[in-house]
Amino acid sequence: MLPACPWRPAPAYDIVADPELAPLVLLDAALVVTLEALLAFTPELAPNALTWEELTPTVLAARQLILHARHMRLLIDDYRAKILNDDEIPF
């Protein structure tokens, strides 16, 4: 599996305008650390080291975590983009 995309901090003016982005920035950073740690401590996840016979429950669980964490980061990006481009008042 490929390494995680680097952490993407939100600019300070984005957080001032939309404070709900602050926890998402922390979540994104935590997901990056999780992805990097899983890739570092599970060498079986390297694309050239893995064969289907070597898949253990631990490796399968790590792969699932990586896939879901990457999906979560994409959802965070989508939300941030929509929040920053939304000029309507929600109430």
Q: Which tokens hold the place of 48? A: 């050239």
pTM value is 0.70
How much is the mean pLDDT over the chain? 77
For CA atoms 73, 42, 65, 59, give the dihedral sign.
Answer: positive
pLDDT tens digits, 38-67: 888 887 877 676 565 677 888 889 889 989
Whether residue 21 contacts residue 10, with contact meaning beta carbons closer than 8 Å, is answered with yes
